[in-house]
Amino acid sequence: MDAVLRNTEAGANLGRELLASILRIRLIEERIAELYTEQEMRCPTHFSIGQEAVAAGVSIHLRIDDLVTSAHRSHAHYLAKGGRLKPMLAELYGKETGCARGKGGSMHLIDRSCGFLGAVPIVGATIPIGVGAAFAAKMRREPTVVVVYFGDAATETGVFHESLNFAALHKLPVVMVCENNLYSVLSPLSVRKPAEREVFELAKGHKVLTLSGDGNDAFEVYNLAGRAVDHARDGNGPVFVEFKTYRWLEHCGPLGDEHLGYRPPGELGSWKARDPLRLLTDRLIAERQIAQADVDALRAGFAAEIEEAMAFAKQSTFPDRAQLNADLFAS
Ligand SMILES: Cc1ncc(C[n+]2csc(CCOP(=O)(O)OP(=O)(O)O)c2C)c(N)n1
């Protein structure tokens, strides 16, 4: 069964809902990582294992007709927004049942049915697309909020500033969510910006509401994102929210990369000790909001869903040769 926007299985309880969303994304990506080595998924794939609380805590505030854009690391954003698992996995396998009909792969997820306007791996490229969608929504007097997800490196592009300036000028209902995982491929922030200037301070220059917080604390993400989405929906203009978090795997691909030596020794371990899934599970169990048996049941349910979707993706057919030039803007 494909997921709905909010995990109804988890019920009205916020903590359980956040946990279900994070756990589901984690299990899906772990399974993709396992099967990736079979070399049947042939698209470059960027995992967000370790960063899932951001997508979960933001999306919980969104309605089905709110819109989202993302970049190369987009599985979590797509799934949390109500993206359908079977078409997502089929897309990774290049199949015609994929959400981009097998022509995009992991970095080009798109699904209008859940308001996922698209993911594009050109750094910064989807920021103006999201701002344009917010401009259109405002002109049509629709109550839509657009969330634009990107990494810390995207704040170093010119189009980020042009877009934020335009959004601020026109008071557009856009929430820019920056997942600051400290690296752009192998380059740490220290070689990319002055040490005394934080990433979020760039947005302050545009005089928009600017927030920053812990992206591994699901409740903190929930609270900050709630403020941001309400602000944008109430017509107060754009918001920039930075969430500090950390990618566990290599920049692109299913493996670890500690042997490359670009991250200081112990850094990965210290972030793993702050695993968003573990932190939330421990807290909910300690507060007796959930029992380990509930977590195990959620896990089993998601595992079954994932296996069914994987089988669907593998059994689907590749697009027909005749479809090669279909849906293209240029021939
Ligand atoms: C315009 C452009 N320049 C360079 C690249 C190569 N590239 C792909 S991902 C990436 C780093 C992106 O870092 P960030 O935006 O912080 O996201 P993260 O990968 O950390 O999630 C780069 C430089 C690109 N895709 N587009």
Report yes or no on 230 lying in a domain. yes
| Closest residue CA from atom 14 of ligand 1 | 151
Report yes or no on 129 lying in a domain. yes
User: To the nearest whole number, what is the mean pLDDT of the chain?
Assistant: 95
Report yes or no on 323 lying in a domain. no
- What are the two backbone dihedrals, phi and then psi, of residue 150, each rounded to the nearest 5 degrees? -160, 170
Mean per-residue pLDDT, 243-258? 98
For ligand 1, the distance from its centroid to the CA atom of residue 82, given in whole angstroms, is 25
pLDDT class of 328 with cuts at 50, 70, 90: confident
For ligand 1, the distance from its centroid to the CA atom of residue 251, given in whole angstroms, is 9
| Closest residue CA from atom 3 of ligand 1 | 123
Tell me the residue range of the domain where 66 lies: 43-84+108-289
Percent of all residues in the chain with a pLDDT value above 70, rounded to a whole number: 96
For ligand 1, the distance from its centroid to the CA atom of residue 253, given in whole angstroms, is 14
What does 262-330 look like in DSSP terms, one character per residue?
-S-TTHHHHHHTT-HHHHHHHHHHHTTSS-HHHHHHHHHHHHHHHHHHHHHHHHSPPPPGGGTTTT-S-
Report yes or no on 34 lying in a domain. no
- Residue 213 near residue 200 (C-beta atoms within 8 A): no
The CATH number for 73's domain is: 3.40.50.970
Report yes or no on 157 lying in a domain. yes
Angle at 121 (CA atoms; ends 233, 236), nearest 5 degrees? 15
Is residue 144 pLDDT above 70, yes or no?
yes
Mean per-residue pLDDT, 205-217? 98
For ligand 1, the distance from its centroid to the CA atom of residue 187, given in whole angstroms, is 10
Query: Tens digit of pLDDT for each residue in 176-198?
Result: 999 999 999 999 999 999 999 99
Total number of domains in the chain: 1
Query: Tens digit of pLDDT for each residue in 259-315?
Result: 999 999 999 999 999 999 999 999 999 999 999 999 999 999 999 999 999 999 999
| Closest residue CA from atom 12 of ligand 1 | 184
End-to-end CA distance of the chain: 37
The tokens 């956040």 sit on which residue?
A: 18
Report yes or no on 23 lying in a domain. no
| Closest residue CA from atom 18 of ligand 1 | 151
Angle at 202 (CA atoms; ends 197, 207), nearest 5 degrees? 130
3-class DSSP assignment, residue 106:
helix
Mean per-residue pLDDT, 112-140? 98
The per-residue b/e assignment along 148-171, b for 16 or more CB within 10 angstroms, e otherwise, is bbbbbbbbbbebbbebbbbbbebe
pLDDT class of 12 with cuts at 50, 70, 90: very low
- Residue 268 near residue 206 (C-beta atoms within 8 A): no
Query: Tens digit of pLDDT for each residue in 30-64?
Result: 999 999 999 999 999 999 999 999 999 999 999 99
Structure tokens at 323: 């479809």
Atom of ligand 1 nearest to the CA of 183: 20
**Any residues with Cβ below 6 Å from ligand 1, and which?**
72-73, 121-123, 150-154, 181, 183-185, 251
Residue 153 DSSP one-character state: G
